[in-house]
Structure 1
Amino acid sequence: MQASFFPSRTVSLYMARMLLTRTFAIIVLLVLVLQTLDALSESGRILAHPGNGQDDVWRYISLRAPGIAQQFLPFSVLGAALFTMSTLNHNSEVIALKAAGLSAHQVLAPLIAASMIVAAVSFGFNELVAVPATATLDEWKKVEYGPLPVDHGDRLNVWVRDGDDLVNVEQVRGRGDKARLTNVTVFYRAHGTLASIITAPSAVHEGGGWRIPGGTQFDIATSRLVRIGSRIVAPGVRPDQVTLASVDADGETFGELRAAIHDLADAGRPTKALEGSLWHKLAAPISCILMPLLASVAAFGLARSGRLLLRAVIGMALGFAYFVADSFALAMGNLGAYPPLLAAWAPFLLFLLIGELVLIRTEE
């Protein structure tokens, strides 16, 4: 038996290079095909806007391609692993490695190490390229491929929790301490029961709360409506809480999404779906590491048995089953049926065990 977990340096580099080159070739092919189909279906909407032309179509392609590459990179690793292992098996190279005393896990070690590199590159690519491109594309779609508006920080119909009380703002203009609230309604509650309601035409941030110039207060117990003067309301509400907009997880980096979740939680808004998406930003790249294990069924077993194609199909089926389970778990997490950690990591752990079981059962 080899003392090292990896085969020799030459064999390890040979196998890793096979996986990496095939992964790159498959992802380029997938992006070309899928981007062509996507551009054909979307070009009519892009050109329908007055003034748009060929440059805008190419701009759409440049913004859409990173998202496609990020989404289908694990598929590419799966296909590359199947091609690599089928080739090694067909050429009896796996038999030679096992005859040298290597275990099945030692044979797979270079491929798993190479997939770790792919996972790291995938995470970095998503944070630096795919996320900004997706965020810009989403904003462009909202204006039907017209000129992108300047974001002045205006927000509509914002709800914020201040302890047991609720605050509703019809419109928020500006950011930070310069934020100005229009049509403010504060619902004061005592032990979960509505006690009184204050309404004011505006509010500005002052000190530790929001100063209203005056308004009305309706007392629930006495059913009396009285006019009130200037006062501070919602002392526990920070300016960043009322300027929070709806968060698109695909358009936020890991750090930005984590900060947004913290702010939303402080504002009393639901964050379970976003927490699942946050963890999935880690689980999705790491799933690349799982692909060689799921595809290992194509590496072991005698090629001359005539079942190499069947083994490759089984490996492909296992890989696609993982992606189906991953999408299902993430959807359940968005609905609140699964806890965020379970939604993001359960499919990975489940198919890790399935891959190990298949590897042990198929090794001959």
Structure 2
Amino acid sequence: MPSGFNFSQPSFRLKSRLPFHLSVLDRYIASQLASPFLFGVAAFSSILVSVGALFDLIRKMTDAGLPLSIAFKVFFFQVPEFISLSFPMATLLSTLMVYSRLSTDSELIALRSAGISVYRLIAPAIVLSLFVSALTFGFNESIVPAAKYQASLTLDSALKQDKPTFQQNNIVYQQYRDAKQSDGSRTQALERIFYAKQFDGKQMRNLTVLDFSQDGVNQIVTANRATWNANSNAWDFFNGTIYVVAADGSYRNILKFEQQQIQLSRTPLDLASRQPDEGEMNIQQIQDYLKLVLQSGDEKLATKLRLRIQQKIAFPFICLVFGLTGATLGTRPRRGGKGTSFAISIVIIFVYYLLSFVCDSFGQLEILSPISGAWLPTIAGLLAGTFLLWRSGK
């Protein structure tokens, strides 16, 4: 008789002060899953950190003279990103290892002989997977973006390679207003188009503004440069010309100026001053950035940002997919120990990330919608895991 259970108990229920009852089966499997999960987090984090950060930092220390103290600081800030990536992998490894061991030791056979279904047996793994999914989402929203940003900032500052926090060329912004139609309905009407050829971090250069704010009288403003005046909450244009255009397309007036203050939105400056890495922002920050991008008319970047938002939501649920798949595969009789489980985990992880890479590429190319590109790997994995569970339960 397997030593893992005491079958003298008439029931797998245990009295508890909790508002729900935990069975002996749940407590036993949960305790078995904890250690392999922590081992998986440590193992996969170490591998990912070595490949994704450590080797690059060592190269920067030898080639670019990065100080050792700065390298340790950057390394510390980069670790949370790789820990979050290891959570789904550790879920897969722990469920596969534990259920494979229970199957090898014939404990699953004994439990199923007692009338416990395979669906009930993997319930603790599903609960663990959902918990890790929530943990992964919280980790990626609250810790990883800030840590990744600090790592980039520290590294660039140490190497004196400060990345410009602005878009250098071709800043385009379209401003709209609510307009009332003849039938009483309201629609969005184009009010202004703002274009600047270059931004050096302090001032815009070679600007053109097309103004359609007044019916029948449109203006064209050109200037060599412009700066944002925070005190007046307006733009100071220098060395430019204002063309007033009549409704029939003829020039009504031409005004040259050395300096002219014009009341325009500062959104173009916000758009030019912010070009961050999506990995350094949480979902809310990406959504705010997306609003600016939509105003600029850059649909390609907008599609990419929509894809990143969906990926940030979809990624934590891969913990559920991996937990379901690992537990189901583990219930099948198999020879081999931890080495076999680790090898199977690597294959499943490789297939998932290969599919994710393909879907991400298709999403950016607009072959797939942002929702499809982000969720397809997770949905495909969930369907595959459900099918395997159904086969095991027959």
Name the TM-score class by shorter chain: 0.7 to 0.9
Give the gaps of 5 or more residues in structure 2.
1-10, 14-19, 177-189, 213-217
Q: How far apart, CA to CA, are the structure 2 residues paired with 1:7 and 1:96?
A: 23
* CA deviation vs aligned residue, 1:179-215 (integer Å, no higher than 9, x gap): x64325125388xxx9956234224358786453551
Q: Is the CA contact (8 Å cut-off) linking 1:257 and 1:278 kept in structure 2? A: yes
* CA deviation vs aligned residue, 1:216-245 (integer Å, no higher than 9, x gap): 257997799955346665745536644542
Q: CA deviation at 1:142?
A: 4.3
Q: CA deviation at 1:251?
A: 0.7
180-189 vs 215-224, greater mean Cα deviation: 215-224
Q: CA deviation at 1:288?
A: 0.5
Written as runs of structure 1 = structure 2, the 5 A alignment for 1:260-275 is 260-270=289-299, 271-275=302-306
2:376 aligned partner: 346
1:60 aligned partner: 74
2:199 aligned partner: 171
Q: Is the CA contact (8 Å cut-off) linking 2:44 and 2:89 kept in structure 1? A: no
Q: What amino acid is the match of 1:45?
A: K
Q: Is the CA contact (8 Å cut-off) linking 1:298 and 1:311 kept in structure 2? A: no
Residue 102 of structure 1 aligns to a residue whose secondary structure is: coil
Q: What amino acid is the match of 1:78?
A: L
Q: Label 1:234 to 1:80 Cα distance change in 2 as closer, same or farther (>3 A).
A: farther
Q: What amino acid is the match of 1:135?
A: Y
Q: What amino acid is the match of 1:162?
A: Q
Q: How far apart, CA to CA, are the structure 2 residues paired with 1:211 and 1:53?
A: 43
Alignment pair present for 1:288 and 2:319: yes
**Counterpart selection for 2:174 from 138, 158, 161:** 161
1:22 aligned partner: 36
Q: Is the CA contact (8 Å cut-off) linking 1:172 and 1:242 kept in structure 2? A: no
Alignment pair present for 1:228 and 2:256: yes
Q: Is the CA contact (8 Å cut-off) linking 1:161 and 1:268 kept in structure 2? A: yes
Q: CA deviation at 1:354?
A: 1.4
Q: CA deviation at 1:249?
A: 1.0
Q: How far apart, CA to CA, are the structure 2 residues paired with 1:260 and 1:299?
A: 44
Alignment pair present for 1:44 and 2:75: no
Q: Label 1:154 to 1:273 Cα distance change in 2 as closer, same or farther (>3 A).
A: closer
TM-score normalised to structure 1 length: 0.79
Q: Is the CA contact (8 Å cut-off) linking 2:97 and 2:330 kept in structure 1? A: no
**Counterpart selection for 1:136 from 150, 165, 169:** 150
Q: CA deviation at 1:22?
A: 1.0
Q: What amino acid is the match of 2:168?
A: L
Q: Label 1:142 to 1:53 Cα distance change in 2 as closer, same or farther (>3 A).
A: closer
Residue 297 of structure 2 aligns to a residue whose secondary structure is: coil
Q: CA deviation at 1:294?
A: 1.5
**Counterpart selection for 1:254 from 283, 288, 299:** 283
208-217 vs 279-288, greater mean Cα deviation: 208-217
Written as runs of structure 1 = structure 2, the 5 A alignment for 1:92-241 is 92-142=106-156, 145-146=158-159, 156-157=168-169, 158-163=171-176, 164=190, 165-168=193-196, 170-171=198-199, 173=201, 181-188=203-210, 198-204=222-228, 210-213=235-238, 215-217=240-242, 227-229=255-257, 235=264, 238=267, 241=270
**Counterpart selection for 1:299 from 322, 326, 330:** 330
* CA deviation vs aligned residue, 1:40-63 (integer Å, no higher than 9, x gap): 44313134445x432123223212
Q: How far apart, CA to CA, are the structure 1 residues paired with 2:339 and 2:146?
A: 41
Residue 167 of structure 1 aligns to a residue whose secondary structure is: strand
Residue 122 of structure 2 aligns to a residue whose secondary structure is: helix
Q: Is the CA contact (8 Å cut-off) linking 2:315 and 2:378 kept in structure 1? A: no
2:3 aligned partner: none
Higher CA-based Rg: 2
* CA deviation vs aligned residue, 1:109-167 (integer Å, no higher than 9, x gap): 11111112212222222233322221222334545x4258598x665333322345242
Q: CA deviation at 1:31?
A: 2.4
Q: Label 1:110 to 1:218 Cα distance change in 2 as closer, same or farther (>3 A).
A: same
Q: Label 1:338 to 1:232 Cα distance change in 2 as closer, same or farther (>3 A).
A: farther
1:176 aligned partner: none
**Counterpart selection for 1:324 from 340, 345, 354:** 354
Give the gaps of 5 or more residues in structure 1.
174-179
Q: How far apart, CA to CA, are the structure 1 residues paired with 2:338 and 2:135?
A: 31
Q: Label 1:217 to 1:79 Cα distance change in 2 as closer, same or farther (>3 A).
A: same
Q: CA RMSD in A?
A: 3.9
Q: How far apart, CA to CA, are the structure 2 residues paired with 1:335 and 1:140?
A: 33
Q: Label 1:3 to 1:264 Cα distance change in 2 as closer, same or farther (>3 A).
A: farther
**Percent identical:** 17
1:177 aligned partner: none
TM-score normalised to structure 2 length: 0.74
Q: Is the CA contact (8 Å cut-off) linking 2:77 and 2:147 kept in structure 1? A: yes
Q: Is the CA contact (8 Å cut-off) linking 2:329 and 2:388 kept in structure 1? A: no
Number of aligned residues: 348
Q: Is the CA contact (8 Å cut-off) linking 2:173 and 2:195 kept in structure 1? A: yes
Q: Is the CA contact (8 Å cut-off) linking 1:23 and 1:80 kept in structure 2? A: yes
Q: CA deviation at 1:356?
A: 0.9
Alignment pair present for 1:77 and 2:91: yes
